[in-house]
Structure 1
């Protein structure tokens, strides 16, 4: 969780996982758009750079500040909601965990979200944060209007259309400006029934295509080198709140089993990497099964207290079977000393210039390594494998992208660059990390 005291009292910055660190000259907390515009104007005159760091949940250096770090922590909350259209306007600094309860008061909900809710709305949209569901898109896809302050300190509002600016703002990486206000197309309030069950790998792969079409949300957790996987299915049901008993049981499962036990066995693996095969088998068997029901925002998120590093790639959905078979075959011998599961999800295709889906239904495959264990060989293999299946990395996860690679896998990157240069002509949002990625 964001701490104002820590933000004000130190010039040291690091992301959630602790793998990216920075030493900004200043860490600022603007209270409104006017103050933010003045900060940007002054920074531009001083030829410094700005980075809005969000909740620091990106694993790549995308949020790392060089000169000026900004948090939108004081610019958050609901601005307005149109109960006829279901369009809700929020300040960009609003945290995802705040949105569900706010919308529920008016009878609305987000169409979809991921399983982590600590990010800011602006950060999640700028990086393409997503959940799962082949008919559903990312948080970026739910936006109908962006309000942002550009690199000259000017405020703009833009309504989504089939135009270059919309497709650039769809997933902007914070390179066009600071996303200070956003209007989202919500849906009527709904509840979810979540079923967690165990499958063998081969039985699951046989029903994958049918499963993702018949259910609203499907998520896999494949444990390296293990026959058994966890499958989570979520479907919409009539409105019901999660009961106190269910919430208590889930908190116990999450805190004691999925986080407490995971931390203990992860520490064993860190000290004795050869134990990872045994731990992976134990973890696969220990994951609880069962059914829970509740409002969507109660069911979507899961606490992530054990720190890890992550790479995630989107591949065309039709390549999922072949890709997973290769992953399964390769990891049977457990060559990489990894015990964290591989997470598999789906999304619809999106038109944004920098969307990893590039308009195609996609499978997102996420690879994790416990923090403190060596991820180099494992992640090097992941990069090679994902390249084979035309994978594009999630911008907020670890990757080795270069400008040449981006030009190859994002055909409309030049159009994004045109928009970026128009709204940030002085490159104040271009930190050292981004210099290798732009013209």
Structure 2
């Protein structure tokens, strides 16, 4: 691969700030997690990473790596060292003919998409948010939707990893168990500094967004998943409708191949309700949420959006919320979703965001993949930051575990190692790699000790 120019682009969205008295604090995007680390170094290269690991060990505290702060759990919370890779960003090598690139781990996804597009390339698939760092997204199992496509970690062909001893490992298919552990590790094995990714030639997509009856959609769910490159839907509690996205390749139209995005509105309701307005009204008076949800479900209208893949697949998230997400066997999707909606409605819980339902291909590429060994339906649930999520998320956890659900590593869950181990067929193999690479827990904060054990 040839070296890429501009590999050290500046970053946006730092989550560190000066607190009263000059102390440094970190806070995640949803404002649900924060900490006051003793040290917050920013690495610009491998030697900086090694130095940070060595100094953290000397101080006796764990080292965690922060990205863009889009995890909802306490993944990186520490009083020890919180390392940033914001000085290690951009494309490092490009092999356009072979469909491979090497990218620095601190690169934000929106930066990666722009850099790939400049080379006539694109990610094979994306999630619906592009604010995360590459390492944060891959290491926690971020995914998009598409029955023939896996999560982002399935696109990783090599991982550059700095271990607790300061060794730099290039994890490749030559050592398959190491690579399968390193792809999706929640930062438990070391500091990931670069990835080799499989990419595609740049392509355009056409999204069709509409509001439809939920019952009919569920009756034809298998066909919808099978017949669309990307298919997902959103359905509010207290509503019998779904907001549906069907995304497929745009027919070849050379004159429109550029970077523009076109949105065509075929139908728009007269009584349209804005999500921000609905959230504010629901937080102020939770008793209004059922009616607001029903109005929101009818406010979508019908729209067609065409443009480059990385712009059509990405959505903006302007409201601040808490989120939990679970991965189920695909055949359980209808039963699980129905049970979740019924639970909310029977308890009268103040849930003002829709359930988000997406589909991915099963994989065996990562030992801790939530989609390991089975085609998967992901169901995500959200609640505005101003509303209490505890009863809602606890009830969802009970339903999820009853159906073999596995939690998304970057979303809220309260499972520990004893509960997680039975969910993953290759759990002990991952633990063996962890014991080998980090025998003394250099990267083990409270979160890592909870989910993987001491």
**TM category, shorter:** over 0.9
The count of residues paired between Structure 1 and Structure 2 equals 431
1:6-45 per-position Cα deviation (integer Å, ceiling 9, x unaligned): 4897511111111111110111111111111121122223
Gaps of 5+ in 1: none
Alpha-carbon distance in 2 for matches of 1:87, 1:32 = 22
Alpha-carbon distance in 2 for matches of 1:111, 1:245 = 19
State the match for 2:420 in structure 1. 406
User: Please, which of 98, 106, 117 is the counterpart of residue 104 of structure 1?
Assistant: 117
Tell me if structure 1 keeps the 8 A contact 2:76–2:445.
no
Q: For residues 242 and 372 of structure 1, do their structure 2 counterparts lie closer, same or farther at Cα, with a shift above 3 Å needed?
A: farther
Q: Tell me whether 1:370 sits opposite 2:384 in the alignment.
A: yes
Tell me if structure 2 keeps the 8 A contact 1:109–1:187.
yes
State the match for 1:87 in structure 2. 100
For 1:26, what is the secondary structure of its paired residue? Answer: coil
State the match for 1:262 in structure 2. 275
Q: Tell me whether 1:424 sits opposite 2:435 in the alignment.
A: no
User: Please, which of 108, 120, 125 is the counterpart of residue 138 of structure 2?
Assistant: 125
Q: Larger helix proportion, structure 1 or 2?
A: 1
1:150-181 per-position Cα deviation (integer Å, ceiling 9, x unaligned): 11111111113673212211211111111101
Structural RMSD (CA): 2.1
State the match for 1:229 in structure 2. 242
Q: For residues 201 and 4 of structure 1, do their structure 2 counterparts lie closer, same or farther at Cα, with a shift above 3 Å needed?
A: closer
Gaps of 5+ in 2: 1-11
State the match for 1:62 in structure 2. 75
Alpha-carbon distance in 2 for matches of 1:241, 1:20 = 42
User: Please, which of 330, 344, 353 is the counterpart of residue 357 of structure 2?
Assistant: 344
Alpha-carbon distance in 2 for matches of 1:317, 1:158 = 31
User: Please, which of 306, 319, 322 is the counterpart of residue 306 of structure 1?
Assistant: 319
1:263-293 per-position Cα deviation (integer Å, ceiling 9, x unaligned): 2221221121111101101111112421010
Indicate the larger mover: 324-333 or 402-411: 324-333
Tell me if structure 2 keeps the 8 A contact 1:44–1:152.
no
Q: Tell me whether 1:283 sits opposite 2:288 in the alignment.
A: no
For 1:2, what is the secondary structure of its paired residue? Answer: coil
State the match for 1:361 in structure 2. 375
Consecutive aligned runs of 4 or more in structure 1 exceeding 6 Å deviation: none
For 2:220, what is the secondary structure of its paired residue? Answer: helix
For 1:233, what is the secondary structure of its paired residue? Answer: strand
- Cα drift, residue 94 of structure 1: 0.5
State the match for 1:385 in structure 2. 399
- Cα drift, residue 107 of structure 1: 1.7
1:231-278 per-position Cα deviation (integer Å, ceiling 9, x unaligned): 00100123645775737x89xx9xxx89xx322221221121111101
State the match for 1:434 in structure 2. 448
Tell me if structure 2 keeps the 8 A contact 1:20–1:59.
yes
